[in-house]
Amino acid sequence: VWKSAYNCWLQYSDIKDHSRVQEYKKVCSNLVILDQSAIIDSAKEELEKGLFSMLGETPTISYEPQKKASIVLATYDQRTIKEYGVDYEDCNILNDDGYMIQSFDYQGDKAVLLLGKTDKGILYAAFHLLRLIQMSKDINNLTIFENPKNQIRMINHWDNMLGDIERGYSGNSIFYDQNEFTHDVDRIKDYARYLSSVGINSLSINNVNVHQVESKLITKELLPHVAEIADIFRSYGINTYLSVNYASPIEIGDLNTADPLDSEVQAWWSEKVAEIYEYIPDFGGFIVKADSEHRPGPFTYGRNHADGANLLGRALEPFGGIVFWRCFVYDCLQDWRDRKTDRAKAAYDHFKQLDGEFLDNVILQIKNGPMDFQVREPVSPLFGSLKQTNQVLEFQVAQEYTGQQKDLCFLVPQWKEVLDFDTYSEGKGSTVKSIVNGSKYPFQYSGITAVSNIGNDLNWTGNTLAQANFYGYGRLIWDTELSAEEISDEWVRLTFGHDEQVVEEVNQMLLNSWQIYENYTSPLGVGWMINPGHHYGPNIEGYEYSKWGTYHFSDCLGTGVNRTVKNGTGYSGQYYPENAEIYESLETCPDELLLFFHHVSYTHRLKSGETVIQHIYNTHFLGVEQVENMKARWEQLKDKIDTYRYENVLDRFTMQLENAIEWRDRINTYFYRHSGIPDEKKRTIY
Ligand code: GCU
């Protein structure tokens, strides 16, 4: 009963439409495999598994061209050109992870060629073909060229070796338990399948906060176990990375400094890296969180972040490894009297001045917003400001501030807004996606990474509907032109099948869920009204009176953070003029970010025509109604969804409703008491 939850979007349910089945069987009864590698073996295994499950027949396998209908797996080479007449010009446009799927009339029979530039492309093409079949699409007339838009397509795990996951909402780690490795090869392999089915090619497997035990992941004792995990992922075209402790030379070496300019420190890292590559010849490299939230870093030695990152880059360079250096650097201890220090400004202030100072194999990792994965925040002004520095954008698939996989919050629409945001760094059309995909500036490395939302829960993601964020993340960063609607529709059909009512209802739930979550939580971009520490549920002044202060400055006169250049923290000046002017002015600042940029009175009128206070009441009453409505609509689907998944999601909606009610009531009461202005519609405010 639980298999459907475990299998995510790779259900491979049998195809109901019989004429389609006949059509598919004609093409799919033979696999012809013209190259060999571990990755191609994975493609073969997946096709065998998927085709058997959907069509009830296992295909025969041959390693030479067959004069009959078949699925042909090949990389582009002389043999495929000769046998199938593939046009070189066509294939020239494929990049290293790209592929072509082409239908052929082959000696009177049907063939589908899955042609990769490399073996990875073959694997991606195999998943694509399986997806088409599961979606009941025609496969007799295919001409598909796919190149991933982003070169680095990564997931970061925040797993600790004890087994817990920082900001994990789906059980414990699949990699570690009680400071040991789980060696749960089957589960890890299934995870690799999901990752590569949506095109992920890089994975870091431990928390960016590298504590004592995890610091040892790069020692001889633990590297063989890391290598075992890397072997599994390698067969799915995924490179393995580790987060490392910047102070490793002290923590696990016998030096008393980690100064990046110290020659002993440099030698230590070089030897360490050489040792890692003995165990894992294609090791990806390091993720580093330094000088952030009490983690060690180069500041201790009076050095800057380029010194720190380049130290590691230099050690990794001979082996082709890379460093992801995180820009999440800010002073986490705030004083409410100090109106100039602004966390939002920190990443830009630290890193902008270092543009061009980093080695070629160092990549800066920049969170999508200047704060921390809030339901709404502006786009980080570092995008567009760093023109000579490799960079990746960091999203959070884990719903830390967006309902923790209890509440439904499909994040693809949010991510799309970020990717489509125009930075104006080179005038109009300098979108974030064109920067991180490396087309705007000639970066050696670039792409997108994100914090994972999976754990060892049976359904991987706690809330089964949160699987859509994992799927959607991979699909979107492969092709940033896909719409949220397309991605959602694919996911629903692959996950739940094609019943029209299910498809329509679940699509609507997903697509509206971000807006709904925003409606009942922090209003108008102000963020942070969650409980400090664990970050679930409302606590309006929780961070207002915490030493990790992140303020909204609400009082009886008004609310919001003044981040203008004119008389605020000056944050809005970090953008290019086109955006800076929009945010700076009350007249043009978009409603949804108003309180992020401005402190206003409760009677200030939004562009929508409502006052701020009435908007707060309206959205909070509405948000709860919307959750009630979603839950009721889910209940209508009872007979159409298997019990396990049905009950799982129903439980989550029940929790979400409780949460939404609490948010509504606390927010409304808080602002009513502060403003003294009653709700125009006279609804109950406690
Ligand atoms: C957030 C999150 C932390 C995490 C940090 C980071 O602050 O709450 O758990 O360590 O981001 O991204 O490093």
- Sequential DSSP letters for 321-347: -EEEEE---------TT-SS--HHHHH
Does the beta carbon of 208 sit less than 6 angstroms from any atom of ligand 1?
Answer: yes
295 lines ligand 1 (CB under 6 A): no
Question: Is residue 68 scored above 90 in pLDDT?
Answer: no
Q: Is the pLDDT of residue 78 over 80?
A: no
Q: Calculate how far, in angstroms, residue 166's C-alpha sits from the geometric centre of ligand 1.
A: 8
Written as six digits, the tokens of 681 are 């519609």
Contact 355/383 with Cβ under 8 angstroms?
no
Interface confidence, given as ipTM, is 0.98
For the residues 209-230, what does the mean pLDDT come to?
98
pLDDT tens-digit series, residues 93-128: 999 999 999 998 888 888 999 999 999 999 999 999
Q: Lowest mean pLDDT of 71-80, 371-380, 435-444, 475-484, name the range.
A: 71-80
The arithmetic mean of pLDDT across residues 214-242, rounded, is 98
**pLDDT confidence of residue 398:** 98
**What mean pLDDT is predicted for residues 297-303?**
95
pLDDT of residue 72: 95
| Pocket of ligand 1 contains residue 343 by CB under 6 Å | no
In angstroms, the Cα distances linking 638 to 463, 641, 649, 650 are: 16, 6, 11, 9
Tell me if 405 sits within 8 A of 379, measured CB to CB.
no
Asked if pLDDT for residue 338 goes beyond 90, the answer is: no
Check whether 332 has a pLDDT greater than 90. Answer: no
Please check the confidence at residue 1 and state whether its pLDDT lies above 90. no
Of residues 568, 531, 563, the one with CA closest to residue 546: 531
Tokens of residue 339, six digits:
């109106």
Q: Is 582 helix (H, G, I), strand (E, B) or coil?
A: helix
Is residue 273's pLDDT more than 80?
A: yes
Determine the average pLDDT of the residues in 550-563: 96
What does pLDDT average to over the chain?
A: 96
pLDDT, average across residues 409-425: 98
What distance in angstroms lies between residue 372's CA and the mean position of ligand 1's atoms?
8
Q: Is the pLDDT of residue 90 over 80?
A: no
Mean pLDDT value across residues 395-400 = 98
Angstrom distance (rounded) from CA 339 to CA 210: 32
Which of 22-26, 80-84, 563-567 is predicted least confidently? 80-84
As a whole number, mean pLDDT of residues 571-599 equals 98
Distance set, CA 347 to CA 156, 305, 353, 580, 651 (Å):
20, 11, 11, 17, 39
Which of 138, 293, 485, 635 is an active site residue?
A: 293
Q: Is 372 a catalytic residue?
A: yes
pLDDT band at 472 (very low <50, low <70, confident <90, very high): very high
Mean pLDDT for the stretch of residues 512-534: 97
Query: What is the spatial order of strands in the sheet that 30-33 belongs to?
Result: 60-62, 30-33, 70-75, 109-116, 99-106, 143-146
Instruction: Please pick, among 46, 83, 377, 400, the residue that the annotation labels catalytic.
Output: 400
Instruction: State the burial class of residue 338 (Cβ atoms within 10 Å of its Cβ: 0-12, 13-18, 19+).
Output: exposed
Residue 334 has pLDDT above 80, yes or no: yes
Burial of 265 (0-12, 13-18, 19+ CB in 10 A): buried
Cα 307 to ligand 1 centroid, rounded to whole Å: 23
| Whether the CB of 175 sits within 6 Å of ligand 1 | no
Tokens of 426: 């080179």
Per-residue pLDDT, averaged over 549-572, amounts to 96
Active site residue 490: no
pLDDT confidence bin for 424, thresholds 50/70/90: very high
Are the CB atoms for 291 and 298 separated by under 8 Å? yes
Residue 582: the pLDDT is 98
End-to-end CA distance of the chain: 44
Amino acid at 56: G
Residue of the CA atom closest to atom 1 of ligand 1: 372
- Contact between 685 and 672 (Cβ < 8 Å): yes
- Rounded percentage of the chain residues whose pLDDT exceeds 90: 92
Can you tell me the mean pLDDT for 621-631?
98
166 lines ligand 1 (CB under 6 A): yes
Distance CA(292)–CA(309), nearest Å, equals 14
Minimum CA distance residue for ligand 1 atom 7: 372
- 514: closest CA among 373, 393, 610, 621? 373
Which parts of 17-156 fold into alpha helices (H)?
18-28, 38-55, 78-84, 88-92, 119-134
Query: Does the pLDDT at position 79 exceed 80?
Result: no
Q: How confident is the model at residue 326 (pLDDT cuts 50, 70, 90)?
A: very high
Q: Is the pLDDT of residue 407 over 90?
A: yes
User: Cα–Cα distances in Å, from 637 out to 405, 410, 492, 618?
Assistant: 20, 19, 13, 29
Mean per-residue pLDDT for 265-275? 98
